[in-house]
Structure 1
Amino acid sequence: MVSIKDIAKQAGVSISTVSYALNGSPKVTEETSARILAIAKELNYIPNAAARSLKKRETKIIGVFLTDYSGAFYGQLLQGLQEALTSRGYELIVCSGKESHRFLPERMIDGAIILDVTFSSDELIKYADLGHKLVVLDRELDHPNINQILLDNKAGATLAIDHFIDKGHRKIYAVTGPNISYDSQQRLQAVRQTVERYQDIEYEEIEGDFNKPAGVRAAQQIIAEYSKPVAVFCLNDEMAIGMYNYLSKTDYRVGEHVHIIGFDNIEVSHYTDPRLTTIDYSKRKWGTLAAEHLLKLIANEPLENERIYVSLIDGGSVGTM
């Protein structure tokens, strides 16, 4: 691999002069700089990013850590992240899995955005204690090097259950997410609290996993137990779509026999018939805010935690009883 030492030798100048020229320093004349850059191009010189980051203490790279890459949820979130970072001269890498955690202690990135249950909170606190800058989207942590931007999960779940009640429903199922998911825990807690406000509600929980097969399994159980129209709050849209898919192959119709609300307003939910009623929020804004807050953390600028607010979109899948 070509080094600046090789360029310096061919140009007949010092290594420091080559370094100045490659970094656009005014300490080198335009003529000398042009000659050095031409030689670097001729030799196919590629800067050593690791060495440069050690010297400058920055990589201009931000890592976003996700639990996995599956589902239709992440696209707009990542788009918001990328747009905000690119406009500030940063690149984005998307990581998943425990092996990628080393990017932080090895300082291969300048900071991280966390939406990944494989990080324990203790691990994140440890990195923050070492000076790493983090924005978390999936837990509550109190540390000067950690900022949190969380969905208003409880408000969304409350909107869903209140909507069912307003429509006259009295038999309600909740299809949960993974037990380790912060969002699922928050939504389920709000569901339970809301149901308790009403005296005449039949309420049942079905264990889910935030994916379509979990929605299929929940639909199978609901139909096996079916005696009258029911309302089902799926704690994300993926499970609601799985439920739609299963029910479409039966004599039971969404909006008549089974009334469904999801959470996330993913794009595919726009094309269901009837359209899925769901909890909506701006995933792009969530990503944009996460990026902006992380860059402020890196710059040691003051900032507060923020919350992403939600609303209910009534698509017609929750008929009146």
Structure 2
Amino acid sequence: MTAKINIREIARRAGCSPSTVSRVLSNSSEKGSVKISAATCARIMAICAELDYTPSIHAARLFSRRSKVIGLLAAGGLQWDDENLARALSGTCSCLSEYGYRCLPLQYREDFIKNKEYLSIFRRCEVDALIIYGEIQDQDYLHELVEQKMPFVLLGNRINDYPAVTADQQSGMEKLVRHCLDCGADKLVYLDLCYGDSSEQRRNGFLNIAGKDAIVIPGGITVTAGYQAAAEAMKYFPDAIIAGNDALAVGVEKYLLEQNKIHVIPSELLLTGGDNIELSKYCTIPLSTFDQRSADCAKRAAEILVSHLEKQTPLHSEVLPVEVIFRRSSGKQ
């Protein structure tokens, strides 16, 4: 009867302990106080190659207490069909695969936080670290992650001094507003987002250029919110509407289309958004916007975490520049 191929069988054939095999297979042979010789490593790897053996994730955890899995937690009520979140997931997965890690998508739910599941999956070695995407209102659990020494990086939003990778959204908004002023607009209205760092960055970018007394209207993050805010915005007879994101701007276009006023863009009314979602270049009048580079930010967050896990480098924050795209809604052809 053929022996079952597992770590114990590899150890028997190599003449060493199962923990030594686990060290080698988890790339831990050069770490810690117990060193493993190059000859032993080579012998173990040769036996694995001969037997076409690939360790299970559970076997890999045997010594290292590592799963080589990083969780991507979608916070702020976001669903996985959100375009920026989908880009972040894609960027995370593609980056982690290059380092031999996997990505575990996690949904921020009330029971997930209430039952402290975010700590349980770490203690069970199901994930080694977290990337947390989206706006966060309940910040207590971040403090618990720090206390439990669970590595994490915030993605897209900054909170206190926690490590975060973000895009310079304020700069992107400033460039769009300045462009509208350069095109002759002098009465600007801003459609605000909801809450959090991303919302604050964009609002500040608008006010920095348009002036602290410029008109700001509560909006939201959806097309419906933009549609509803457009009616209020038009009462001010603006010559530029600066929407906090592309979805709001699409809502403005929908409102103007139903009012048979879509023709005022861009000859009488300039319109800009933010995020560069796919729809922004295909809507009735293509939108000027900026790309917050969700995939690139996610890749960088993943790299920071992998480096921390593998080389013990300190977690830190980074800000990536945005790309501003001018299209017909602000006068560009």
Match of 2:158 among 139, 158, 170: 139
Task: String of CA shifts for 1:46-98, please: whole Å, max 9, x gaps.
Answer: 95x56753642111111111121343222322222111101111111111223
Q: Secondary structure at the match of 2:304?
A: helix
Give the corresponding residue for 1:5.
none
Is contact 1:59-1:108 (8 Å) kept? yes
Deviation at 1:182, TM superposition (A): 1.3
What are the equivalent positions in structure 2 for 1:93-108 lying under 5 Å apart? 93-98=104-109, 99=112, 101-102=118-119, 103-108=121-126
Is contact 1:237-1:264 (8 Å) kept? yes
Q: Secondary structure at the match of 2:150?
A: coil
What are the equivalent positions in structure 2 for 1:188-199 lying under 5 Å apart? 188-196=203-211
Give the corresponding residue for 1:208.
219
Give the corresponding residue for 1:16.
8
Match of 2:102 among 69, 73, 91: 91
Question: Is 1:237 matched with 2:246?
Answer: yes
Task: String of CA shifts for 1:197-233, please: whole Å, max 9, x gaps.
Answer: 7xxx7x322212211111111122234x15x453111
What are the equivalent positions in structure 2 for 1:34-49 lying under 5 Å apart? 34=51, 47=56, 49=57
Give the corresponding residue for 2:177.
161
Deviation at 1:12, TM superposition (A): 9.1
Is contact 1:105-1:127 (8 Å) kept? no
Deviation at 1:155, TM superposition (A): 0.9
Match of 2:228 among 208, 214, 217: 217
Q: TM-score scaled by structure 2? A: 0.75
Q: Secondary structure at the match of 1:92?
A: strand
Instruction: Please provide the CA RMSD for this pair.
Output: 3.3
Is contact 1:71-1:238 (8 Å) kept? no
Question: Is 1:185 matched with 2:194?
Answer: no
Q: Distance in 1 between matches of 2:5 and 2:82?
A: 55
Number of corresponding residues: 293
Question: Is 1:58 matched with 2:66?
Answer: yes
Q: Distance in 1 between matches of 2:5 and 2:272?
A: 69
Is contact 1:64-1:115 (8 Å) kept? yes
Q: Distance in 2 between matches of 1:153 and 1:312?
A: 10
List gaps (5 residues or longer) in structure 1: 1-8, 41-45
Is contact 2:187-2:238 (8 Å) kept? yes
Question: Is 1:282 matched with 2:293?
Answer: yes
